[in-house]
Chains A and B, each alone.
Chain A
């Protein structure tokens, strides 16, 4: 199949999926107890004020009409307003999502950097030191809660060793001029080395925390697929014709393993981009996850819906990119 046709079809599916997600999220938030009008006007306001605000927000309309209005808004690129921050949601998200993407990307890169090589090496040498290390680290990573690991890291590296700075947001230095919204990237673009260091240093501990928990299952998946591939008939055939071990691993086995492992990586990236609430809390990073939770607890519908939609969108986009990559790497998907 032609790549362009494939991508177009996938984009159409994506639109349908987003509609579905928006519908479910909309209905669920409206079914939650609590009228935002009360929260806006405060407990001391009289009944007529509440009714006026309810009508202004359109909350008195039947739910399908509310949804229809919301979709119309969405189509024009408006995600509504947050009464809590008194900003358009697009503004709030524009300020927070880059923080999430920046952290998520750093965490994914770190996670891939340790988990995939360890998974591969440990698969090649059963019961070796690397195999045991893989067992220990992946066991640790899957069983420890993210927030707890984050707290331990803070306790050790900030409170005890004093190597890390206090976890106070995205940077303790200057905020670099806004280009991409990613502080580290913007700092590099501005050539401001100090600003880069200040932003990067704030990201190390949360990124390590996420890299451990996200990388742990990937070690197991990589090791499992690598073992399976190394035991497959085509590897045996190549060996039986004298193909050297280096080529067996790198040329014959690795591409077969990277296909499923990259899918797993995409799932993890989708998760990271949706905001990692607990890690954002522990390290006081203003990301999308924290934004969503703060909004939910105050019946601030628009930001919650936006966060859900963005989370869904990031999964869909990451999967699409992944599938396009597979389309290029894996000859079997091309016919």
Chain B
């Protein structure tokens, strides 16, 4: 890796570095919408980071862009995604396939649907192992059983030969985690991994994810709409809104003393749910049909002023975090 002679950086470069990522959906030649508009996000090594935001803020789309699996019609218009210094945008399909598994892995919500109904759970994990190593059939199956065992699946030897419909929701999530971690990825992306699980199971699965990721020295990018989950699992948190990162920093300080009014509003919405009353952020999420010309939160922001309309605020480093707000 070549250092930058202009700035003698002492800190290690981040594992994942997303810069100015802009994604659009095309209909014909026209760009019909731009759901990501300049996402900037850095995930350091061996760090658990959560990406928080409302539905439609672009969290999952960001994850899809990182693994090179954008939905049909979506296209990266600008920006850079570097994993361990390697540019992923424009990388060959084969290169991306080789990276998926041993470098980046992703687990989606709804683990039962994420596993193939007609293949055994162990067989699916073993296939991923064989894809990325020269392990044979026997060895890969043994490793699959070991992984299931490590994830706390009881009687893993037998369960490896079962099908996903024989698994409970929590067990299926454990199996999905085993599959995602089967090739020792440096970065695990977990997209709403506990949606659909009841509260106790949710707790267990999150603890398991944290434990497994930390034990392996890997990084976690946890996508969630629930700030409480971010708080209990991740050291760092980035808040997304309208296809941009609004604030990013240590979870404790972001959630206790938010620097962006959007973060404040989001936290308030969560806090009042706990108190039994509902607080809804006034106004609606902007539809991202055109490039933004001003702060996307300006219309709903209690602190909005003239200068908020003079262009889109960039992320600025303020103390221990980065904030995209001109008034911060």
Contact = CB atoms under 8 A, between A and B. Distances in A.
Interface in B101-126: 101-102, 105-108, 110, 113-120, 124
B231 interface: no
B166 interface: yes
A256 B113 CA distance: 13
A22 to B, nearest CB: 38
Interface string B259-283: 0000000000000000000000000
A240 B183 CA distance: 12
Contacts of B165: 331-332, 335
B93 to A, nearest CB: 9
A238 B163 contact: no
Interface string A307-335: 00000000000000000000001111001
B47 to A, nearest CB: 21
A252 interface: yes
A335 B163 CA distance: 10
Is the contact region of chain A dominated by helix, strand, or loop, or is it mixed?
helix
Interface in A227-242: 232-242
B127 A233 contact: no
A247 interface: yes
Given A234-B116, A242-B101, A252-B119, A331 B127 contact: no
Contact of B100 (A233, A242, A332): A242
Interface residues of A, number: 24
B108 A243 contact: no
Given A242-B97, A242-B100, A237 B108 contact: yes
Interface in B49-83: 67, 69
B128 interface: yes
A256 B118 contact: yes
B174 to A, nearest CB: 15
B98 interface: yes
A203 B179 CA distance: 52
A77 interface: no
A329 B119 CA distance: 10
A331 B124 contact: no
A259 B117 CA distance: 12
A136 to B, nearest CB: 24
Contacts of B163: 331-332
A196 B95 CA distance: 54
B117 A332 contact: yes
A331 B105 contact: no
Contact of A251 (B108, B119, B132, B179): B119
B113 A232 contact: yes
**B interface secondary structure, majority:** mixed
A67 to B, nearest CB: 46
B287 interface: no
Interface string B113-150: 11111111000100110011000000000000000000
Nearest to A243: B131
A42 interface: no
B99 interface: yes
A151 B166 CA distance: 54
Given A331-B163, A332-B163, A242 B128 contact: yes
A244 B98 CA distance: 9
B23 interface: no
Nearest to B107: A237
A235 B97 CA distance: 14
A233 B110 contact: yes
A240 B106 contact: yes
A124 to B, nearest CB: 13
A335 B119 CA distance: 15
B308 interface: no
Contacts of A243: 127-128, 131
A145 interface: no
Nearest to A252: B116
A330 B118 contact: yes
A233 B172 CA distance: 14
A242 B93 CA distance: 10
Given A240-B69, A241-B101, A241-B180, A233 B131 contact: no
27 contacts: A233-B108, A233-B114, A234-B113, A234-B114, A235-B116, A237-B106, A237-B107, A237-B108, A237-B179, A238-B124, A239-B69, A240-B105, A241-B105, A241-B179, A241-B183, A242-B102, A242-B128, A242-B183, A243-B127, A243-B131, A244-B97, A331-B118, A331-B120, A331-B163, A332-B117, A332-B163, A335-B165
Given A241-B100, A335-B165, 9 more contacts: A236-B114, A237-B179, A240-B100, A241-B128, A255-B118, A256-B117, A256-B118, A330-B118, A331-B117
Interface of A: 232-244, 247, 251-252, 255-256, 259, 329-332, 335
Interface of B: 67, 69, 97-102, 105-108, 110, 113-120, 124, 127-128, 131-132, 163, 165-166, 176, 179-180, 182-183
Give 7 nearest A-B pairs by CB, closest first.
Answer: A233-B113, A242-B100, A242-B101, A237-B114, A331-B163, A234-B116, A242-B97
